[in-house]
A and B are shown apart, each in its own frame.
Chain A
Amino acid sequence: MSLLSLLWWSSLAFGAGALVWMFTLIAARLVRERVERARAADQDEVRSLFLEIMDGGADAPSRLQPYGHRARLIAEALMEVIGLIRGAERDRLIAGLVGLGADERLRRRLTHGGRAGRIAAAEALSAFPGPNSAAALRAALAASRDADFRVAALNALLDLGGAPALADMVRDMQRQGLQDSRLYEPVIRRAVAAAPLDALEVFVQVPSPPAVKAVLAEALGAMGDYRALQSLTRSAASLDQELRIASVRALGLLGHPAASDAVVRALADEAWEVRAAASEAVGRIGLASAIPDLGKALDDPAWWVRFRAGEALTMMGEPGLLHLQAAARSDQDLARRAASLALAERGLSAAAA
C-alpha cells in the first residue's frame, strides 16, 4: 500500500471510528438515561415506602419486597434517613428491613459487585446490630485494601461495638500504608472515645509512626481523660516535631495545670509550630504563671507564635490584658504590633485603665 493510500485509509478509519464512538456514546446515554430515570423513580418509591413503614403501614414491607434484592438501592436510601430518625420509627424501619432479609443481602454485598455498592453496604450495616453484621464487616475488612471501604467498615463496626482493637487498627493502617491518610483520623478519634484506656496503652506501648501517634495524642487530649496526662507530657518532649505539636495541643485540650512544666518548656521549642501550639495551650489551661513567658512570645520571630501568644493573653483575664496593654506601649516593634492587634481584634483598648 502506498503512503498516500495509507494516509487516506487512516483518515477514513479515524473519521469512521469517531462517528461510531460518538453514536455508541449517544446510544449508551439514551439507555443510561432510561436506567437512571427508572432508578430515580425506584429511589423515590423506596423512600416513600420507608416512610410508610416508619408510620406503621402494614403492607409497606410487602410492597418493598420487589426492591429487596437491590442492596445498593436499599443501602443508599437507608443512609439518607437513618441519621434522622430515632425510637419507635427507627425500630419499625429496621425490623421491616430485617424481615425482608435486607441485612443478609447487605452482608453479601460487602464482597460482591461494584465499589460504590460495597461501600454503601458497609455504611448501612451499622443500622443492623448483631454478631452476623460485625462478623461480615470484619471479614470484608480483612479482604479489602480500598481505603474508603475500610473506613466505612470500621465506622460501621464502631457503631456496632465490634471494632477491632485499636492496636490492631493501628498495625493494620501501617501494613496498608495508610498511616498518613486523614481519612482514618475520625475513625481513630471514635475508637479512642470508645476505649480511652486501650488507646492510652496503644499510645504508650504499640510501636507506630509519629503521624499515628500524633492523631492518638490529639484524640486523647480531646477525650479529657486525665490519665493521659503523664504520657502526653512525655511525648511533648519527643524528637518528632509533629508528635510534639500534637502532644502540646492535647495538653491544652486536657486543660490540666499539671501540664504546666511541659507546656512552658514547649514555649522555648526550636520549632515555631510547637511554640505556637504551646502558646495556645497556655491560654486554654489558663496558666497565670506563664504570662511573662507569653509576653516574651509576643516578640517571637514567627508570626503564628506572636498571634497565638496574643490570643492566649486575651484569655487570661485581667492579668493577661494588662500584660498586653503594656506590650502595646513597649518599644519592641514585633511585640507592640502583636499586642495591639490582639487587643484590637477583640475590640479591647490598648490604653491602660
Chain B
Amino acid sequence: MTAAIAQVLVGFAEAIALFVIGMGLAQNLIYLLQLLLAAGALSARPSIAQSGVLWRRYAEASPPIALLAPAYNEAVTIVQSVRSLLSLRYPSFEVIVINDGSRDATLQALIEAYDLRPVERAFDQALDHRPIRGVYAAAHQPRLVVVDKENGGKADALNAGINVSRAPIFCSMDADSLLEPDALLRAVRPFVEDPERVVAVGGTVRIANGCLIRDGQVLEVRPPRNLLALLQTVEYLRAFLMARLAWSRINTLTIISGAFGLFRRARVIEAGGYTHDTVGEDMELVVKLHRLMRDRGRPYRVGFVPEPVCWTEAPEDLTVLGRQRSRWHRGALETFERHWTVMFRPRYGRLGPIGFGYILLVDVLGPVVEMLGYLLIPAFWGLGLLSIEYLLAFLAISFTFGVVISVGALALEESELRRFPRARDLLLLTAVAVLENFGYRQLNNIWRLRGLWQYLRRTKSWGAMTRKGFSPPA
C-alpha cells in the first residue's frame, strides 16, 4: 500500500517536473520566435538615420499630435521635462500637462517657469475623470496647456488630457520621460503610411541612467554605472526591441508602454478611454482597442516602431524596482482577468492564442511554474529522485539559451539602431546578460510572485516611486 502511494506520488512529481520543463521549453521557443520576427521586422524596415531627412519626407503629411503628460508630485523635474517637450521637432503639436492633484509645487513650478494664466478652454467630456480645477496657458507659449485637476490616478489624468486635446492623435507619456527631438516624426510614420488602419503605435523606451543629459536632451548615450540599471538595460532591449517588435509584426501586440505611445484619439474614446481601477491601464487600453476593432469588424493595426526613443529613469534601488515590477505584474494579471475569454473566441484571431496565450504562459503561469521548479529540486533530491547530472545540464542549457536570446536582442540593436556609441558598451552589456541569470532573474520572479499575491489580495496602490531626476553624471 505504502509502495503504491509512493509510486503515485513519484509519478505525480515527475508529471509536474515534465510540466515545468515543458513550460520552460515553450517559453524559450517563444523567445526564439520573437527574435526571428523582430529580425524580420527590422530588416523589412530600415531606419532613417537623419532627422533632417525625416522632416523633408514626412513633415507635410504628418497629422497634429497632442502630447499628454500626467504629472503627480513632479516639482523637481517638471519644468525641465516640459522644456524638452516644447522643443520637439514636429510640425504641429501641443503639450498638455495634467497636474493630477499634486501635493507638492508641481503646478506652481509650471506657472512660474512659463508665466501661465488661467484660461477658458472648451472641451468635450467624452471620458469620465475627476473634476478639472482649472486650465492654464501662456500667450508666448501657444503649444503649452496645463490642466489642473483633482487627484484620480494616471488613467484618470490621461482621460482628462484626452478630453482637453483636439488633435486626432495623442501621445501618452510619463511626465519624467525624455523624448528624443525627432521621436514624434519617427513614431507617426505608421499613421502616415496607413492612416485608415493604424490605431496605436508604441515606441522604444530606453534607460537614461548614465547618459549625459542637458536641458532635457540626451546628448550622449552611455550605459548606466549602477548594476541594477545595467541589468534593466538588457531587459528593456529584450522587452522592447525584440518582444514588442515581434508581436507588432503579427498584429498581436497587447501592450504599449505608458511612457511613450501614440493613439488615435477617436478610437480610444470609442473604446472608453483608460480604465480607472487597474494599475495596468496601458496594457488594458491596447487590449480594449484590439477588441473594439475586431468586434466592429474593421481592419486595423497596432504597431511598434523601434526607432523613436523615449528615455526614462530606471530605479537604482532594489526596493523601488521591486515595487515597480510587482505593480507591472499585477497590471498584467488584472488585464488578463478582464479579457481572458479572448483566448477562446475565433473572432479575435491571433490575438487570442498568441497574444493572450503568451500572457498566460509567461505572466500568469510563468512565475508560479518557475517557483515550482525551484521547490521541486530540493524535494526531488530529498526523495532520491534527482539526477544532479541532468539538473546541471538542464540549467546549463537554459542559461546559455537565455544568453543567446539576450545577445540576439543586442544584435538587433547593433544591426539597426546602434544607440550605444562605443564598442566596449556591447561587451559590458553581454557580460550583464550573462550575470542576470545569477540572481536578477530569480529576484524578478519573486517580485512577480509578490505582484500575484497583491493581485489576489486586490491591492490598488502604486507604492512610492522615488526619483532622482535627470542630473548630469558626475
Contacts and interface: CB of A to CB of B under 8 A. Distances in A.
Interface of A: 3-4, 7-8, 10-12, 14-15, 17-18, 21-22, 25-26, 28-30, 32-33, 76, 79-80, 115-116, 120, 123, 147-148, 151-152, 180-183, 185-186, 211, 303-304, 307, 310, 338, 341-342, 344-345
Given A18-B430, A182-B195, A183-B192, 10 more contacts: A11-B397, A21-B408, A25-B426, A79-B52, A79-B53, A80-B52, A120-B53, A181-B192, A182-B193, A186-B61
Nearest to A341: B122
20 contacts: A4-B389, A4-B393, A7-B394, A11-B393, A11-B396, A14-B401, A21-B411, A22-B407, A22-B410, A25-B411, A25-B414, A32-B418, A33-B423, A181-B193, A186-B60, A304-B124, A307-B122, A344-B120, A345-B120, A345-B121
A341 to B, nearest CB: 4
A22 B429 CA distance: 10
A241 B400 CA distance: 57
B438 interface: no
B430 A22 contact: yes
Nearest to B188: A182
B403 interface: yes
A304 B163 CA distance: 12
Contacts of B426: 22, 25-26, 29
Contacts of B404: 14, 17-18, 21
Contacts of A30: 423
B423 A18 contact: no
A304 B408 CA distance: 49
Contacts of A181: 192-195
Contacts of B46: 115-116
B56 interface: yes
Nearest to B411: A25
Contacts of A26: 423, 426-427
B400 A18 contact: yes
B57 A180 contact: no
A351 to B, nearest CB: 15
Nearest to B408: A21
B28 to A, nearest CB: 10
Interface residues of B, number: 46
A79 B397 CA distance: 52
Interface string B378-419: 000000000001100110110111011001101100100010
Interface in B86-136: 119-122, 124-126
A305 to B, nearest CB: 11
- 6 nearest A-B pairs in the assembled complex, by CB-CB distance: A344-B120, A303-B124, A14-B400, A341-B122, A7-B393, A11-B396
Q: Label chain B's interface by main secondary structure.
A: helix
Q: Label chain A's interface by main secondary structure.
A: helix
B196 interface: yes
Nearest to B414: A25
A11 B395 CA distance: 9
A20 B50 CA distance: 31
A182 B191 CA distance: 8
B9 to A, nearest CB: 24
Nearest to B62: A182
Contacts of B60: 185-186
Contacts of A18: 400, 403-404, 407, 430
Contacts of A344: 120
A76 to B, nearest CB: 8
A7 B397 contact: yes
A32 B57 CA distance: 27
B78 to A, nearest CB: 25
A341 B430 CA distance: 58
A79 B50 CA distance: 12
A4 B61 CA distance: 59
Contacts of B423: 26, 29-30, 33
A7 B192 contact: no
Contacts of B389: 4
Nearest to B46: A115
A341 B120 contact: yes
Nearest to B195: A182
Contact of A180 (B195, B401, B411): B195
Given A181-B194, A310-B122, A338-B122, A148 B57 contact: yes
Contacts of A17: 404
A30 B421 CA distance: 11
Contacts of B126: 303
Contacts of A151: 57
Interface-central residue, A7, A30, A79, A185, by most chain B CB under 10 Å = A7
Nearest to B189: A183
B410 A25 contact: yes
B244 to A, nearest CB: 22
B192 A182 contact: yes
Contacts of B411: 21-22, 25
A123 to B, nearest CB: 7
